[in-house]
Amino acid sequence: MQRRILFSRWAALGIVLMLLIALPNVAWQMHNHWPTLEFLRNGVRHNKNIVLNPLQFFLAQFGNMHPVNALLWITGIVSLLRGRSIRNMRWLGLTFLFFYAIMEALHAKDYYLQGIYPAIFAAGAIAWEYRFATSRSVLRGHTFAFPVYESILIITGLLILPMSSPVLTPEAWLRYTSALHLRGDKMETMATGPLPQFYADRFGWNEQVSGVLAAWQTLTPQERKRVCIFGSNYGEAGAIDLLGHMRERDLPPALSGQNNYWMWGMHGCDTNVVIAVISDAPEDVEKKFESVQIIPHADNPWEMPFERRKTIFILRNRRPSSPVDWEGERFYF
């Protein structure tokens, strides 16, 4: 019956709609020389992500979904494949296994599977309900297992809540996780500070933006109209665009060569006046500009270490020997 549905006009219509929905993105990828593939290729080439072996990838699913929830999603997969409590849905169980195998083979980040779990949770709940629907305790109304499970889920969920939601201050988070021997999974190879990356990435932006605004205040009115504000990555550029514009409405849009910021171009700015947030050494910058001024700014102890090594420069009068090469700034990573 299910195979016959695949050859119906409705299945054909669904496939056509699926292709039409994906077509704009495919066309965009082709027009821009496949940036997503470039992003993935550079990640492998530069050893960006932590590569999990099959066992590590599997065990990571328990942490991502909350360990106690394994009673639901593992039961859900088994019930879908066996087809007893949920008939005619084996394809969903096979879809999960197929998707899981692809993600593991591609060395994807362990959380990439999260989108498929809601259906598997539902299948697990139905399977447990089917299993005990005719039991004597349930028929008599003497149920206690489900409230016990829910209570355990709520209590343990509250215990590990700080690992997924910023409900504690950084200092309290360190004390709490040390006491309970909890740790954040490291997903990328770059060095981290006292906080795991998913929290550390949220710190330091206000300090960098304050430094950029301090540099902006030193410019003449004519320079402000044509200055280029450059961030070495999209995080810095995004912080300038969001936080900087909240504090200074006349601030021009930021530039960056990383990811889609590169596509948005230079906005017609003058590369003879630049505010740059970069990690280059001053002596290297002096080879490109006649005037190099360093703007002091405060670091945040909780931010990622590589962001603490950034310097804010005011650069003037680009040397003729170092012309602008925006094409060379493109970097998907």
Residue boundaries of the structural domains of the chain: 2-163, 205-329
pLDDT at 5: 73
pLDDT at 202: 94
Tell me whether strands 228-231 and 289-295 are parallel, antiparallel or unpaired.
unpaired
Q: Compute how many other C-beta atoms are within 10 angstroms of the C-beta atom of residue 41.
A: 13
Torsion angles phi and psi, residue 101, rounded to 5:
-65, -40
Q: Taking the alpha carbons of 269, 274, 276, 280 in that order, is the dihedral positive or negative? A: positive
pLDDT at 1: 61
Q: Are 247 and 209 in contact (CB under 8 A)?
A: yes
What pLDDT, in 10s, does the model give residues 197-213?
989 999 999 999 999 99
- The token duo for 305 is 């270490």
> Mean pLDDT, to the nearest integer, of 149-176?
93
- The token duo for 98 is 């197929």
What pLDDT, in 10s, does the model give residues 105-137?
888 888 899 999 999 999 999 998 888 877 777
User: How far is residue 5 from each of residues 14, 16, 41, 84, 96, measured CA to CA in Å?
Assistant: 11, 15, 38, 21, 21
Taking the C-alpha atoms of residue 304 and residue 236, their distance in angstroms, rounded to an integer, is: 12
What pLDDT, in 10s, does the model give residues 267-303?
999 999 999 999 999 999 999 999 999 999 999 999 9
Q: Are 43 and 49 in contact (CB under 8 A)?
A: yes
Per-residue pLDDT band at 189 (split at 50, 70, 90): confident
pLDDT at 2: 65
Taking the C-alpha atoms of residue 302 and residue 204, their distance in angstroms, rounded to an integer, is: 7
